[in-house]
Amino acid sequence: NFQPLVPIQSLKPYGFWGFVVDQIEGPPPVVNYLCHTYQLHKIPIGDRKTNSMQDQIPANIQSYFSDTHHYVVRVSKYSGEKSSRIVIVRQSVLLAGSTNNALISEYRKSITKEVDTINKTSNNLAEQKAVMEAAEREINELRSQKRTLDQELQSLRTGRAKLKMRKEELDAFVKEGTIDPEMEKEKAKQKTAKLIVGISKDQKNVKGYLKDYQDSLVRSSLCKVKLSLVQAVLKKKQQESMEATKKVEDYKRMLVNAEENIRTAQREFKRAQEKALKLTENLSPKDAAFKRRYEQLFAALPNDLMALDVEISQLTARADCLAGGRMSVLEEYEKTKKLIADLERDVADPERKTRELREEMEGQRARWMPQVLELINRINNNFTTFFSLMKCVGEVSLEVPEQKTEYSKYGICVKVQFRESSKLQQLGPHTQSGGERAVATAIYMLSLQELTMVPFRCVDEINQVHYLCLFKKPCRI
């Protein structure tokens, strides 16, 4: 359903040989989606020739590829000027495999032969095209001369007809005696002289205009040459930049590998050091006790690394050749050592689990505490507002124990003040009367209404211990 704007046969003179959609195989819905989204059926693909024919490519081709670059052309809606963006096409390195050098050499030779044949054919076509262009130019010049001669002939015929008419009129005036021929000739000579002077001035102006036009053509040619040179330099710099970027990436990978090797060596060194410390009862060569205990043993060992490896091999061979009784001692030592390690791990696991549980509890508290405080703050705002409408003071806050991990001691603290002479006190059975506690409970329930949306609410026997004056206040709210 998606056809190119221009047939590929019309684009072959510019080096194009196909479209992007022709290089894709897949289900028709997928191909249609790609064409609809990315306009792949309108993007032609060319070869090296396309790079040198940017100015001759049709204006409706706004995106195309050459052998090494991607060109995107934009036309301004206001000024109509063109702007081009050129991007180097990176080489494909998605797949790598073995190469047959002999087959590649044969292909290169055949390609070279074909390229030579194509070049010869192209040269012949270029010569024939040059001959045809010369013939077309000559034909156009002859046609132009013919049109000019036809126009001059037509002007001559018209001038003769007008001259004949004027002559007849002049003869009629002369016969009548109203015009003096000599005087009219003198006037005509004067007018002709004036016209010749004006024509000579116009010719001088035309010469100046032609000279300016030639100068502008020369400047335009120089600008085109400079533009081509700048584009060539720009392409070269872009290629060099890509190569430098690739080298930098290679160096970065080498650096990362070297750092990883260093970290691996450091880990191995650390494990070897820890193992050596275990064997020497956590005594390092810097400790004085290490020198007192192991100085004679190390003095008996060779200083050369190779000799030390030989000594280790000999001791290992001796250990392998020990009798059964000695081997049982070693096995018992290994079992005891493993049992000690298991016991140490069993002791460390509860501590680690306890630490993890504490961290998880702190994380949970850090997540739910702000939400609880925000909820209590909303309740407090409603509670304070309702008490102020009754000309009283009320406050709701979160009661936090000294030990923040004792979550069973958390609670809601409600403080009220019904009289100006009293202070703000916590709601309790021994501080306020039954009616005051009932009013505070009703106001607290009203403060919770907007936090939970329900179809209806039912409260029974809320006025059993109300004083009459206190009972009316919540009803007014």
* Selection from 119-128, 170-179, 258-267 with the highest mean pLDDT: 119-128
Q: What is the per-residue DSSP string for 399-457? A: E--SSTT-GGG-EEEEEEE-STTS--EE--TTTS-HHHHHHHHHHHHHHTGGGS--S--
Query: How far apart (Å, rounded) are the C-alpha atoms in residues 351 and 356?
Result: 9
In angstroms, how far is CA 330 from the centroid of its own chain? 64
Query: How far apart (Å, rounded) are the C-alpha atoms in residues 189 and 183?
Result: 10
Q: What is the pLDDT of residue 78?
A: 79
CB neighbour class for 448 (10 Å; exposed up to 12, middle 13-18, buried from 19):
middle
Count Cβ atoms below 10 Å from residue 44 Cβ, excluding itself: 26
Residue 322 pLDDT greater than 70, yes or no: no
Query: How far apart (Å, rounded) are the C-alpha atoms in residues 191 and 167?
Result: 18
Q: What is the pLDDT of residues 119-145, one digit of tens each?
A: 899 888 888 889 888 888 899 999 888
Find out whether 428 and 441 touch, Cβ atoms under 8 Å.
no
| pLDDT-derived band at 414, boundaries 50, 70, 90 | very high
Q: Report long-range pairs for 379-387 (Cβ below 8 Å, ≥24 apart).
A: 379/444, 379/447, 379/448, 379/451, 382/446, 382/447, 382/450, 383/414, 383/443, 383/444, 383/447, 386/443, 386/446, 386/447, 386/477, 387/416, 387/443
Q: What is the pLDDT of residue 325?
A: 46
Residue 95 pLDDT greater than 80, yes or no: no
Q: What is the pLDDT of residue 327?
A: 53
Q: What is the pLDDT of residue 98?
A: 57
Tell me whether strands 411-417 and 393-399 are parallel, antiparallel or unpaired: antiparallel
Q: What is the pLDDT of residue 395?
A: 92
**129-138, 240-249, 269-278: the lowest-pLDDT one:** 269-278
Contacts for 90 with CB less than 8 Å, ≥ 6 apart: 242
Residue 97 pLDDT greater than 50, yes or no: yes
The DSSP H or E segment spanning 63 is strand 63-65
Query: How far apart (Å, rounded) are the C-alpha atoms in residues 424 and 261?
Result: 70
Q: What is the pLDDT of residues 110-126, one digit of tens each?
A: 888 888 889 899 888 88
Helix (H, G, I), strand (E, B) or coil at 250: helix
Q: What is the mean pLDDT of residues 275-296?
A: 73
Give percent above pLDDT 90 in the chain: 2
Q: Indicate the pTM of the whole model.
A: 0.30
Q: Tell which residue, 376, 364, 382, 462, has the closest CA to residue 412.
A: 376
Give percent above pLDDT 70 in the chain: 88
**Number of residues in the chain:** 477
Q: Tell which residue, 32, 29, 63, 28, has the closest CA to residue 46.
A: 63
Q: Tell which residue, 286, 288, 315, 289, has the closest CA to residue 300.
A: 315
Query: How far apart (Å, rounded) are the C-alpha atoms in residues 69 and 242?
Result: 13
Q: What is the pLDDT of residue 93?
A: 58
Q: Where are the beta strands (DSSP E) in 356-406?
A: 393-399
Interhelix angle 181-279/101-176, rounded to 10 degrees, is: 160
Q: What is the mean pLDDT of residues 313-319?
A: 74
| pLDDT-derived band at 442, boundaries 50, 70, 90 | confident
| pLDDT-derived band at 179, boundaries 50, 70, 90 | low
Helix (H, G, I), strand (E, B) or coil at 131: helix
Residue 187 pLDDT greater than 70, yes or no: yes
Residue 377 pLDDT greater than 70, yes or no: yes
| pLDDT-derived band at 94, boundaries 50, 70, 90 | low
Q: What is the pLDDT of residues 145-160, one digit of tens each?
A: 898 898 989 988 898 8
Q: What is the mean pLDDT of residues 260-283?
A: 79
More confident residue, 388 or 472: 388
Q: Sign (positive/negative) of CA torsion 235, 241, 247, 252?
A: negative
The amino acid sitting at 252 is K
Q: Tell which residue, 450, 383, 458, 455, has the closest CA to residue 414.
A: 383
**155-169, 281-295, 452-466: the lowest-pLDDT one:** 452-466
Q: What is the mean pLDDT of residues 41-60?
A: 86
Query: How far apart (Å, rounded) are the C-alpha atoms in residues 37 and 24?
Result: 15
**225-239, 258-272, 336-350: the lowest-pLDDT one:** 336-350
Name the DSSP class of 287: S
Q: What is the mean pLDDT of residues 428-434?
A: 82
Residue 468 pLDDT greater than 60, yes or no: no
Residue 467 pLDDT greater than 60, yes or no: no
Mean pLDDT, the chain, whole residue set: 81
Q: Where are the beta strands (DSSP E) in 242-348?
A: none
Find out whether 157 and 164 touch, Cβ atoms under 8 Å.
no
Paired residues of 82 in beta bridges = 75
Residue 161 pLDDT greater than 50, yes or no: yes
